[in-house]
Structure 1
Amino acid sequence: MSVEVRTLHLQHIVQRDCVLSLQTIRNIAYTFLQILIAFSAAKAFGANQYLGAVIGMIMIHPSLQNAYTVATEGVQQTQSVFFGLFKIDMVGYQGHVIPVIIAVWILAVIEKKLHKIVPEVLDLFVTPLVSVFVTGYLTLSIVGPIFVWAENAILGAIQWMLTLPLGIGSLIMGSLYAPTVVTGIHQMYTAIDIGQIAKYGVTYWLPLASAANVAQGAAALAVGIKSKDKKIKSLALPSSLSAFMGITEPAIFGVNLRFFKPFIAGCIGGGCGALYASLVHLGAKGTGVTGIFGILLCLNQPLQYLIEMVIAVGVAFAISFVIYKDAEPKAVTADVTETTGTTETVENIEIADNNKAEETLTSPVNGTQISLSEVADETFASEMLGTTVAVEPADGKIVAPCDGEVSNIFETGHAVCITTESGGELLIHIGIDTVKMDGKGFTKKVSDGDKVHARDILVEANLEEIKNAGYQTTTMMILTNTDEFGNVTKAEPAEVKTTSKVMTLTK
């Protein structure tokens, strides 16, 4: 064998190995996505996260037919359940999200009930075993099939809409694609791609998804360029780049949904791009890549793909740039009348809500300030509502962190809203999912409109009653109008008292 032939042979082996490794790494998260979703959902629902992961494993067990093969191979096996009452398809839940979340919610309910009734000496063994077995059986026999049917009905409706004349269906679905990303339903769209490739040799869905994705990126880019806020710029610009690569979550959740109008602009741009793609019958030869690199799957129609991208980006960027505005400082207008002789002059004087340049907030409860990564609720942990401080309370006395006014105290007593002297809008949320307790365990000490001073008691919470009901007592203090402050800083996690400074607001 000549040196040239050996060299080419070696290059072929290296390339093959590299491609294999890259494919494995690229697909790993999607291959086990249901396990990751179940693990995260268990944290949100207050269940054991490892038991949640087990439920995810059950739903994609190798003994079940891979859901992605059903479109081309059909259902290979069925199984009788409930002593022969009916049969179910033995198909896994690859590409499905909603059944996984529902299954973990059932697990959380069962686990919490068992913790209350099973003797402590048996709890460690009985509760996990029974929780997983009952949840797994109910999921595979009832919950899974029902929600898969519902998801398939949605997919069928989408497929039908794509056949509507003049690209109307694509216009609608291109506009609605981003909202489905918010709900997580988009994870099941792979079934559409695979089904269309099997039937037509191409998928008309992927170009639609690409238009929707880059449109959200363009809307975020417009925000980043137009905004004068450095924090918004630092978030919007990299988020838009990520969306152009096909990963839209940072742009959607971090920027567009936060200000909402850019999100609508992105939806409109996505619809316009999808409309063009439908009119020119733009199809992709494969699936898995959207955004800029999606052109690699459309090399049979690269020009049409580029035009689609330009339309989606241009429309979304233009609309977002026009309708987005940075939030203005709250102000009221007062009319001051001056009378000199027979001449009356009216001047409009803008009076700011407050003049405090800096305000310090103390902990709303004695206890331990924890890292947000330890908070078992993704909404609070991700600071989606605003800058957040979380405390594991040592007692149930929830106090005002500063002087201010109670703008709203929930009927259930589990949450209080306070407006501070510097204009900060605070939400103090006692426990996780404690709204479900319907006020049990909470004694309100203030009413709407009450003026409060730092360390005045707002609510007395019965921590034991909350824990016995199966809920966590972690208490969050959220600054919901963070954007209206130039700088917001938080203290590092540590033991805290109601005199400890945990947040500083600077105008």
Structure 2
Amino acid sequence: MDYRKSAQEVLDNIGGAGNVVSAAHCATRLRLVIADNAKVDKEALENIDGAKGVFEAQGQLQIIFGTGTVNKVYEEFIALSGVEAATKAEVKEAAAQQQNIFMRAIKVLGDVFVPIIPAIVASGLLLGIMSALNFMASNGFIALDTNNFIYKIADLVSGTSFGILQILIGYSAAKAFGANPYLGAVVGGAFINSSLQSAYTVASEGVQTMVTVIPGLYSFEWVGYQGHVIPIVIACAILAFLEKCLHKIVPEMFDLFVTPLVSVFVTVLVTLVAVGPIFVWAENAILGLIQTLLTLPFGIGSFIVGLFYAPTVVTGIHQMYTAIDLGQLAQTV
């Protein structure tokens, strides 16, 4: 195979070097961010010697060459085009800048929730094992000593991630938005503070306290955000905006004290009073719709989800499923 010839044909069929924003490669694919996709001839790219497929995903034009081959084609491509070599992370960032606001929002969801998955797995798998053991014990299949120290520690660990889920999301979301992640953790913790009525008790006890904002006109529920994830993400977006603004206007000698205090306080205030109730309602509506869809008879809902899953993965919007899944877990665990 003539790697230089293949690289030149790639360059010719994507509109030339001037149409390349960024270029990198992974184990099997040449990953390009293109300025003007109208100049790309996909059919010609698919017929290049060594090319095994061409598709667009997450704002990138990806040409599959295979392990080993892609490295050599990439080296020739960089040499011919004069484009500066980039890492996969840099290409992803460049691709994100080319995407519309909807796709950027989906990317943010991925940046927030994907890093949390190992923590959820750590507790979630153990929680599943504990539930199975408890079920078998309650139905007489096995004898289970719940006073055993191993059982007690396993039970403790199995619920930890879900008990502090809002703190984990606060940390991750603040980091994704460019805010101080520790302030994000504080914001997340504030919404599950023991001073607030637990959201898990509302169904059985009702809302115990309403806090008045405008007498006779508006009040909000003094209830925690257990079981909710999207309001925490929105709160951290507000936190990031406030923190960045304050860093610009607060004198450096006061910045360390003023910025964290004001940004956290205002974020929690705005979220509890106004933003939070709106997104709690929206999240409940979305999760209710998904739950209704999944419980349709004869597996119709599962068929619909399966039908759309592959296209959403190709387009990159599958990251939204992680947010939905975590929302369902937060409400039911």
Which structure carries more helix by proportion? 2
Q: Rg bigger for which structure? A: 1
Which structure carries more strand by proportion? 1
| TM-score for the superposition, normalised by structure 2 | 0.49
- Larger RCO, structures 1/2 (Cα 8 Å, 6+ apart): 2
